[in-house]
Amino acid sequence: MAIAMLHRIQHFLCLILVFLLPFSSLLFPSLGYNVPDKYFINCGSDSNVTVGDKVYVGESNPVARFSRSKTESNESQVPSPLYQTARIFRRESSYEFGIDTNGTYLVRLHFFSFTSRSNLYSARFNISVPGFWLVQKFDARNDTENNADPVKEFFMEITSPTFKIIFRPLPSSFAFVNAIELFLLPLNLISNNVSHFTFSGYMGLTSYRPGLYSRVLETKLRLNVGGQIVTGPDNLLRKWFPDDSYFANPENAKNRSPFMGRIEYHVGDDSDGPYANKFTAPSDVYRTAKEINSSSSSAGNITWALPVDYNTDHLLRLHFCDYWSPQIDHAYINLFIYDTYVMPVNIYDPEVSKELPAPYYFDFVVHSDDSGFMKVSIAPDASARIRDAFLNGLEIMKIIERSSSVPPYLDEPNSEHNRLPVVLGSVLIIFMMILGFLWRLKITKEKPTENSDWLPMLVTAGGSSQSRLTEGTSQGSALPNINLGLKIPLLDLQLATNNFHASQIIGKGSFGNVYKGVLQNGMTVAVKRGEPGSGEGLPEFHTEIVILSKIRHKHLVSLIGYCDENFEMILVYEYMEKGTLRDHLSNKNLPRLSWKNRLEICIGAASGLHYLHKGVDGGIIHRDVKSTNILLDENLVAKVADFGLSRTGPVDHQPYVTTVVKGTFGYLDPEYFKTQQLTEKSDVYSFGVVLLEVLCARAVIDPSLPRDQINLAEWGILCKNKGMLQDIVDPSIKDQIDQNSLRKFSETVEKSLQEDGSDRPTMDALLWDLEYALQIQRGVQDEDSSISVSASLQLPSVRRLPSLSTLSEVAEFAIVTGNESNCAADSVFSLLKIDDAR
Ligand SMILES: *[C@@H]1O[C@H](CO)[C@@H](O)[C@H](O)[C@H]1NC(C)=O
Ligand SMILES: *[C@@H]1O[C@H](CO)[C@@H](O)[C@H](O)[C@H]1NC(C)=O
Ligand SMILES: *[C@@H]1O[C@H](CO)[C@@H](O)[C@H](O)[C@H]1NC(C)=O
Ligand SMILES: *[C@@H]1O[C@H](CO)[C@@H](O)[C@H](O)[C@H]1NC(C)=O
Ligand SMILES: *[C@@H]1O[C@H](CO)[C@@H](O)[C@H](O)[C@H]1NC(C)=O
Ligand SMILES: *[C@@H]1O[C@H](CO)[C@@H](O)[C@H](O)[C@H]1NC(C)=O
Ligand SMILES: *[C@@H]1O[C@H](CO)[C@@H](O)[C@H](O)[C@H]1NC(C)=O
Ligand SMILES: *[C@@H]1O[C@H](CO)[C@@H](O)[C@H](O)[C@H]1NC(C)=O
Ligand SMILES: *[C@@H]1O[C@H](CO)[C@@H](O)[C@H](O)[C@H]1NC(C)=O
């Protein structure tokens, strides 16, 4: 009965809503945003504002309109156009954000009290997020008088689909905000597992339990020690201030002259340091330092006294980068916190040979005392070869604990008074979404490629993560037009790969990991993601996209899209169900490929390579043809991968002279190795090795075999010459292989492996030979056995390939061990060679 009643009421409410729709914005002052989750918002304004290269979008959005809450503005001189407007809340209100991806987020709130009718200086308020007080009893006067940065910055883990920031004015006052930033941070910027400093010193370092991710961090200080203010988009929009006003003994320290060179960031995922990657801190922070003033007689140490909250846990992060010592182990520094010896700051680790200048950092949780200052000192160790101590950067973040005193917000059941608007609000949102959906359907029907950005909740998005993919890549496996509009929002890729979760990794290479992902349109893709820190190759990355997007062929793996957002370099390829050709040759758990299958695969790959050489514009040399770069789709159709990372040949077909030989052992053309001249025939040689591999199903380099058998190319030719090729054919196909087909095939192999490139066939000719071998196998055509190929052949003198012992002389050589357990690593997408050699 009661339930029926409730239903009727709901029904009635819905009806009312339809009529109220046009006025809805007047009714729900605090419904908040519901925009995609990369948010930069210019509060209190309808217009976008660009600061640096970041667009802070205005609130001109029907869903987000805060009609009952005022805005104020003053066009006069303020430090940033963001600070010309503010939204003012006279009662409890919130901004609400939709969150697609679990992870660590940065929340930045801007409070600048410009002169206006409301007198923003008199604002007093709290701010909370679920479970935590971010700001308590905010008093704008304090910040303005101290000339402090009008920004509050927080780090927190968000794992709920919506996230609310709640403004709570103190009695008879109000709250305001000029701008809000909320974005997902790169992985591992902050480690969950941090050492806990206690006064028993070094031995007292234990893990801080239960870890930082269960807390919120608030930035208190971020110092570029020995340098100037550092800002800018390359550094997650963080601001680093000079440290000069924080010395306890200023005469003991002096600025080290700045370093102009390149900082050698760590490339890798391991978050626990000590080596810094490019997100840890920008180069400009590591390029300056404070060091001991050797002309000061008392200079035993440098001590900073850093203002902190009383008796509170803080995260202290110290950044070091020794850019003047000749060796990494020359400067030994001792670190003290509150005059207590903590540890030697010495990252010498024979296991990790690092190039200098390698930046590194240490994190500690330190409980502050009741002085209001945290004392941090560095002093040279008496045993050091260079008696110096230095520091490049310092960060202090207050650790905010979960608090049970944070009251639930409006929409919680115990807040009867406020319940109705929220219920109405939710219904309204759903209603509008349905309307929107219907309208969108209609639009899609009429104009399939139009971006449906009309949806109010998408209008203010910094980057619309929901609408983008439907534009270009929704046609499933039929690939969309490839063009430079293939940019995919980072968040879509994070979603697709479960935020680059380790379980999604299908390959690993020098460039980074390859993840399997499913885009929102259901398409399965391979996502190759550059490591943070390997990011010097942005122009090359762009070149790759330009080249890749021009190439399309049935037997070449296609580029689906790319992402260069947020300092990322990501390429997205079509996913190849059956993995690499090598897997199918070497993995005993997979069904054996028949000889006919193998020929078809070789033909597919050859036609892909032929297209690279002769198709599109001017010819492209693959440079890394091998069985792990030949992928198979669900129907065992072969596609060549990693081709876009090869060389584009000049139009006049002059050979290339490269300074660095690139390739993979076992497949590498000896002529190219010797002359460093790269031609299409180098690909032909490598492909010849692949053909042998297909025939014999063994590793191209197998050090466990007798010397003359280690290298498959050498061994294969040797056997061929002795008429023993039959003996090394993969036993699983021995019985099915037609002798004439084998003869034709081995003849092709032999031609491809000629020492002199000009004696090798073109891909075109090779393709024809393989087709012929397939025809024979199919029995469609009988080979004229009077042409006895094997008898008439010259024995090629195969040059010895560089043996493993000469490895060290070969700069930057890509070595692939052929270790079965590395197969995934070796897979198609593994080596995105965006490196300085290119
Ligand atoms: C804008 O600010 C200037 C000085 O900062 C002040 O003189 C002026 O009255 C302000 N305008 C309004 C409308 O408050
Ligand atoms: C702001 O200043 C007032 C008075 O000067 C002081 O009582 C209050 O504690 C200060 N608040 C903060 C957050 O520093
Ligand atoms: C995010 O975290 C929540 C809580 O831990 C979990 O329930 C949810 O499945 C996670 N979502 C994703 C996409 O991982
Ligand atoms: C603001 O925070 C203070 C300190 O926690 C608390 O006592 C007060 O009740 C809060 N006021 C509001 C309106 O949330
Ligand atoms: C945390 O880090 C310490 C050293 O920094 C290490 O000994 C410990 O095993 C780590 N604990 C976990 C749970 O990762
Ligand atoms: C270094 O110490 C000398 C002697 O005490 C002092 O004169 C000089 O100012 C100091 N240098 C700096 C940069 O503080
Ligand atoms: C640093 O030097 C001062 C004297 O300049 C001394 O009082 C203090 O104890 C020293 N601190 C440490 C940690 O060595
Ligand atoms: C504001 O920025 C958003 C997102 O970049 C964009 O979609 C919108 O068109 C911009 N609005 C105006 C008025 O420029
Ligand atoms: C091959 O991989 C396995 C497992 O990772 C490893 O134990 C072994 O040492 C590797 N062998 C070579 C030659 O790299």
Summarize pLDDT for 786-809 with one digit per residue, the tens: 333 333 333 333 333 333 322 222
Average pLDDT over residues 488-515: 82
Is the confidence at residue 353, as pLDDT, over 70?
A: no
Ligand 7, pocket-test mutation among 251, 334, 339, most atoms within 8 A of CB: 339
Cβ burial of 422 (10 Å; 0-12, 13-18, 19+) is middle
598 & 737 share domain:
yes
Ligand 2 atom 14, closest CA: 142
Which pLDDT score, from 0 to 100, does residue 689 have? Answer: 95
d(CA 710, CA 213): 51
130 & 279 share domain:
no
Ligand 3 atom 1, closest CA: 159
Cβ burial of 582 (10 Å; 0-12, 13-18, 19+) is buried
For residue 46, what is the domain's CATH number? 2.60.120.430
Is the confidence at residue 749, as pLDDT, over 80?
A: yes
Is the confidence at residue 356, as pLDDT, over 60?
A: yes
Which pLDDT score, from 0 to 100, does residue 113 have? Answer: 86
Kindly state the tokens that stand for 518: 């499913």
Residue 834 counted as domain residue: no
624 & 771 share domain:
yes
Which pLDDT score, from 0 to 100, does residue 468 have? Answer: 26
Label residue 616 by pLDDT band (50, 70, 90). low
784 & 708 share domain:
yes
DSSP 568-612: --EEEEE--TT-BHHHHHH-TTSPPPPHHHHHHHHHHHHHHHHHH
588 & 671 share domain:
yes
Residue 388 counted as domain residue: yes
Q: Which domain holds residue 542?
A: 439-574
- Pairing state between β 195-196 and 359-367: parallel
Ligand 9 center to 623 CA (angstroms): 26
Label residue 97 by pLDDT band (50, 70, 90). confident
Ligand 4 neighbours by CB, cut-off 6 Å: 126, 136-137, 168, 170
For residue 490, what is the domain's CATH number? 3.30.200.20
- Pairing state between β 132-139 and 124-129: antiparallel
Between 753 and 558, name the one with better pLDDT: 753
Number of independent structural domains in the chain? 4
For the chain, give the mean pLDDT.
74
Which pLDDT score, from 0 to 100, does residue 354 have? Answer: 61
Our CA angle for 28, 32, 37, nearest 5°, is: 155
Whole-structure pTM value: 0.56
User: 823: Cβ–Cβ under 8 A, 6 or more apart, which residues?
Assistant: 580, 582, 583, 586, 587, 628
Which pLDDT score, from 0 to 100, does residue 269 have? Answer: 53
Ligand 5 center to 193 CA (angstroms): 6
Burial 468-488 (b: 16+ CB within 10 A, else e): bbbebbbeeeeebebeeebeb
598 & 720 share domain:
yes
599 & 563 share domain:
no
214 close to ligand 3 (CB < 6 Angstrom): no
| Residues tagged active-site | 624
278 assigned ligand-binding residue: no
291 & 381 share domain:
yes
Ligand 3, pocket-test mutation among 100, 101, 159, 494, most atoms within 8 A of CB: 159
672 & 716 share domain:
yes
Contacts 24+ apart (CB under 8 A), 6-9: none
Is the confidence at residue 72, as pLDDT, over 80?
A: yes
- Between 17-26, 402-411, 474-483, the lowest mean confidence (pLDDT) is in 474-483
Residue 723 counted as domain residue: yes
Domain-terminating residue out of 142, 157, 184: 184
Task: Scan for tokens 């709250």, then name that residue.
Answer: 175
Return the ligand 3 atom nearest residue 100 CA. Answer: 13
590 & 698 share domain:
yes
- Between 66-80, 101-115, 121-135, 483-497, the lowest mean confidence (pLDDT) is in 66-80
d(CA 320, CA 363): 12
Candidates 458, 430, 468, 465; CA nearest to 61 is: 458
Which pLDDT score, from 0 to 100, does residue 641 have? Answer: 84
Ligand 5 atom 9, closest CA: 207
